[in-house]
Amino acid sequence: MGTVTSQPDDTGATTATKTKRVLLAAPRGYCAGVDRAVVAVEKALDLYGPPVYVRKEIVHNKYVVQTLQKRGAIFVDETDEVPEGETVIFSAHGVAPVVHEEAAARQLKTIDATCPLVTKVHHEAKRFAATDYDILLIGHEGHEEVIGTSGEAPEHVTLVDGPDDVPSVTVRDPEKVVWLSQTTLSVDETMETVRRLRERFPHLQDPPSDDICYATQNRQAAVKKLAPEADLMLVVGSRNSSNSVRLVEVAIEHGAKAGYLVDYAEEIDEAWLEGVDSVGVSSGASVPEVLVRDVLRWLAERGYGDVQEVTTAEESLTFALPRDLRTDLKAAGLPTTGTSDHAWTI
């Protein structure tokens, strides 16, 4: 990766000068679950008209939330903030069964935009709880996805927030224990947590399939590949986005000399570029490509115009919109498919 050019110095001799470049990770940005959730809000606004209520941030990205607010979406923390009889959309991170019950009690029309890969983890939790397993849920305390999954089987789930939590974990029967995980974790840290859990509980059962989603794994793999050659790693994403934060950590762990998380290009500090030849760029799974374009433009204006894409996987997965929304769209003669207004690429 990269080029070296020879340029004359003041004496006429030549010195090797590295070309400033950007190593652009691919895949990056929107995953299928995020695109589905954002499109669900956009189409609900088109179909029902504003306001449309959304419980929690539909995805963890400041720009996306602010853009949808301008179109008429109202974000609330709990269903009791939604007027009775109105429409409420549940975020991509999922909700516990009690939230569905609360919405029904208030006669709210619900559109469940939970990512299908999160729903899969919910089903796993219910399945193992039904056979009285202890479920060790690896995830970050307080994250909406963890709260939703735990709510499916609260009497069976124990949260394990990283490797350091392992010594304090207790189970009823060490021969009936399974681990599940939040979908947006660091793959490496999760596997280390599992390794330590298995040392304590040799009969620990794995989930039926990977809980860490394809997009999280793919974005981390691309960052791992370019990190050793990056003097600086810039990840576009919001600070409450678990998968975006993990990308910065992964970059540092795999060789990037420095790394920062930014929502917008304007947040980049020019001092970060001192002595930097190669800048790695990626974005979290809830980040529209328009924000990455802005970062690339900002870098190009400062001499980093050579953009080399580092590709580790191709992605084509899509998810259908929530069923109730599709039914209403079809009845109104409107398209039941589509891509978010903000999901376009370079």
Strand partners, 74: 53
3-state secondary structure of 76: strand
Ordered DSSP codes for 288-303: -HHHHHHHHHHHHTTT
pLDDT of residue 17: 53
pLDDT of residue 3: 35
3-state secondary structure of 302: coil
Bond into 51 cis (ω within 30): yes
Question: How many CA atoms, within 13 angstroms, populate the side-chain half-sphere of residue 133?
Answer: 22
Q: Look up residue 283 and give its DSSP letter.
A: E
Residues of the chain below pLDDT 50: 1-16, 343-346
Q: What does the block give as tokens for 168?
A: 């304090």
Class for the domain spanning 21-30+214-311: alpha beta
The percent helix, strand, coil of the chain (3-state, each to 5) is 40, 20, 40
Question: How many CA atoms, within 13 angstroms, populate the side-chain half-sphere of residue 237?
Answer: 28
CA-wise closest residue to 206 among 133, 270, 256, 260 = 133
Q: What does the block give as tokens for 327?
A: 């039914």
Domain with CATH 3.40.50.11270 in the chain: 32-115+317-330
Classify domain 117-200 by CATH architecture: 3-Layer(aba) Sandwich (3.40)
Sort strands 134-138 and 87-90 into parallel, antiparallel or unpaired.
Answer: unpaired
pLDDT of residue 327: 98
Q: In one letter, which amino acid is 202? A: P
pLDDT of residue 15: 39
Ordered DSSP codes for 95-106: --HHHHHHHHHT
Q: What is the pTM of this model?
A: 0.91
Q: Look up residue 321 and give its DSSP letter.
A: P
3-state secondary structure of 132: coil
Q: What does the block give as tokens for 53?
A: 């209520």
Q: How far is CA 342 from CA 85, 274, 291, in A?
A: 30, 32, 9
Rg of the Cα atoms in the chain: 22
3-state secondary structure of 175: coil
Sort strands 14-18 and 4-8 into parallel, antiparallel or unpaired.
Answer: antiparallel
d(C-alpha 176, C-alpha 162), whole Å: 21
Which fold is adopted by the domain 32-115+317-330? Answer: Rossmann fold (3.40.50)
CA-wise closest residue to 99 among 83, 118, 84, 77 = 77
Q: In one letter, which amino acid is 184? A: T
Contact indicator for 223, 246 with CB cutoff of 8 Å = no
List, by residue number, the catalytic residues: 145
Length of the chain in residues, anyone?
346
Task: Write phi, then psi, for 39 (nearest 5 degrees).
Answer: -60, -35
Find the distance separating the first CA and the last CA of the chain, reported in whole Å. Answer: 21
Domain with CATH 3.40.1010.20 in the chain: 21-30+214-311, 117-200
